[in-house]
Amino acid sequence: MLIVSIPYINDNFLNEQIAVIPEEYYVEYRLDYNDNFESFPLSLCNDKTIITIKNNSSVKNLAHRRKEFLKKVYLNTQAYIDLDIELISDFSEFCGKRVVLSAHFEKGVDLYRIQQVTDYANKFRPVFLKIALFLEKLEDFRILKSINETVDVPAVLIALGRFSKMSRLMYPIWNSKATYLGIEGYLTAENQLSLDEAEFYKLASVDKKTLFGGIVGGEQILHSKGLPFYNEYFYQNGVNARYIPFIIKDSAGYVKFLQIFKNHFFGFSVTMPFKLVLAKMYGKKAINLIAPRLGRVFNTDFDAFRYALKKLEVSPDDKILILGAGGTARAFAGISGEFRYRYLWARNPDVMILEYPEVTVCSQDELLNLKFDLIVNCTPLGIHEGEEIFFDRITFSKAIDLPYLPDRDTGLIKLCLERKLEFFDGHEFWLKQSEKQLAIFSEEIDRMKH
C-alpha cells in the first residue's frame, strides 16, 4: 500500500498533483501547509484519502480549528483522519473507525514510550498505527520490526533521519502495512521517498516476497550505473528483486544489520572506502561484493582486470604503472603477479607494499622519466576538468582507466584519444565486472527462492 503525501498549497496545485497520481495509491493531504485549511475542497475526499493537520506555529488558533475541521471531515466524508497520539483524547468518541493513529519519535528510540503507544493502539483499534522513529544505527531497524510483535492492528513503520528512504523502499521487511511518498520539490518530510523514485524502483509491486540488494558506499552511489542496470534487468525478466543504494558510515553496524536481516538480501556491490574495511571483517584483502545469507564475498574486479589485460594484449615484460593503493589497486596487484615490472604511485603506498612487496614504489622523478607500456588508473584523477595535465606528463602506450563520467570522457581517456592510444575505460570496466556480479546475484536469488 502506497500513500502519497501532498501539501495543501492551493486548489490548483492539488488538481495538478492529483492528475498524475496512480488511482491505486492512497493520498494524504497535509492541510497544515495552508493557514486557511478550512477551504480545502471536501469533494476530493474518498475512501482512499487521509486528512492530516500537524502542528504548525504559523497557523493561528490551530488546536480548536483543527479539532472542528477534522470532525467535519470525519462526519461528512469517507476519508480517514490522522490523529497524533497527543490529540487522541479529543476524538475518543470515534474510536478506531477511519482513524490513523500517529506517533513520532524524533529524538530517538524510547522503548517505554513505544510500548505505551502500542498498548493504546491495541485498545483504541485505529485502522492502522503509524510510527515514525529516528534511528541512529542500521541495526536499530530490528526495533522497527519488533513493533509489529506487540501491536494487534496493522502498523506503518518509518525511519526518520538518514535511513528514511531505505526504510520506505524496503517497508515489507519491517512488516509495515504501507509507506508514505512525497512529490519531488514538495516533500512533506525530510528524506522522504519521492513519487518519481517509487516509480523508478517499481515500489507498487514490492511485497513480502521481494528480495533486496544494492550498492554500499557514500553519497556518490546515488549516481551508480548499477541502479538502472540491475533494476531494469530484474523488471524485464520478471525477477521480484530490487537493487537500492545503501549510504552508510558505520561498516560494523552495516555488518550487524546484514546478520539480522540476511534472509531478505541477495547481495551488495561494495564501493570505496568500504572495499578494504569490509574485506578485513571477512578476512580478505579487498572485496567488491557481499552475498550475506551465507556470508560469501567476492571481487569481480579480478574478472574485469583479466579481461582488460587480455584485450589490450599486455605482455609479461611490459612496464605497468599502477595509480592508487586502494581496494581496486590491490585487486589489480593481486591478479597481475605474472607481470615482472610493476610500479606504484600513490599518496599512501605503505600498506599495499606490505601486501605486495614485489611492486616497486615509483618516485616523482621516475613517474616523469620512465616509459610505461600500461597505466592503470585506480584513483578519481581525471574526473575533474583540467586533470588531464597530470597524465600528459607521463609517457605511456596503453591505459586502463577506472573512473567514468555520464556525459564526457575523463582526463586520461581524453588524452588517449588525442594520442590515438589503446584504452579500456571505466564504462567498459564497470560493465565487465557487473556481468559477473549479475551472475552471482541471480544465483543467490534462485537459491533463496527455492
Residue that the C-alpha cell 486548489 belongs to = 11
CA angle in degrees (0–180, nearest 5) for 178-181-183: 160
Q: Which of 85-89, 109-113, 318-322, 334-338 has the highest mean pLDDT?
A: 318-322
C-alpha cell at 400: 586502463
> Does the pLDDT at position 394 exceed 80?
yes
How large is the average pLDDT for residues 45-51?
Answer: 96
C-alpha cell at 135: 534511528
> Does the pLDDT at position 93 exceed 80?
no
- The reply to whether omega before 273 is within 30° of 0 (cis) is yes
The confidence score (pLDDT) of residue 149 equals 86
User: Does this chain's domain 209-299 share its CATH topology with 309-431?
Assistant: yes
The confidence score (pLDDT) of residue 94 equals 67
Local confidence band at 290 (pLDDT 50, 70, 90 cut-offs): very high
pLDDT tens sequence across 136-183: 889 899 998 899 888 999 999 999 998 999 999 999 999 999 999 999
> Does the pLDDT at position 416 exceed 80?
yes
Q: Is CATH 3.40.50.720 the classification given to domain 309-431?
A: yes
> Does the pLDDT at position 96 exceed 70?
no
CA-based R_g, the chain, Å: 27
Q: Where are the domains of the chain?
A: 2-208, 209-299, 309-431
How large is the average pLDDT for residues 341-349?
Answer: 91
> Does the pLDDT at position 255 exceed 70?
yes
Q: Is CATH 3.30.210.10 the classification given to domain 2-208?
A: no
How large is the average pLDDT for residues 7-11?
Answer: 94
Local confidence band at 29 (pLDDT 50, 70, 90 cut-offs): very high
The confidence score (pLDDT) of residue 250 equals 84
209-299: CATH architecture:
3-Layer(aba) Sandwich (3.40)
**What does pLDDT average to over the chain?**
91
> Does the pLDDT at position 363 exceed 90?
no
How large is the average pLDDT for residues 385-409?
Answer: 90
pLDDT tens sequence across 208-248: 999 999 999 888 888 889 999 999 999 999 999 999 999 88
The confidence score (pLDDT) of residue 213 equals 96
How large is the average pLDDT for residues 409-419?
Answer: 94
Distance CA 84, CA 238 (A): 40
> Does the pLDDT at position 373 exceed 90?
yes
> Does the pLDDT at position 91 exceed 70?
no
The confidence score (pLDDT) of residue 218 equals 84
> Does the pLDDT at position 55 exceed 90?
no
pLDDT tens sequence across 118-140: 998 998 889 999 999 999 889 89
Helix (H, G, I), strand (E, B) or coil at 157: strand
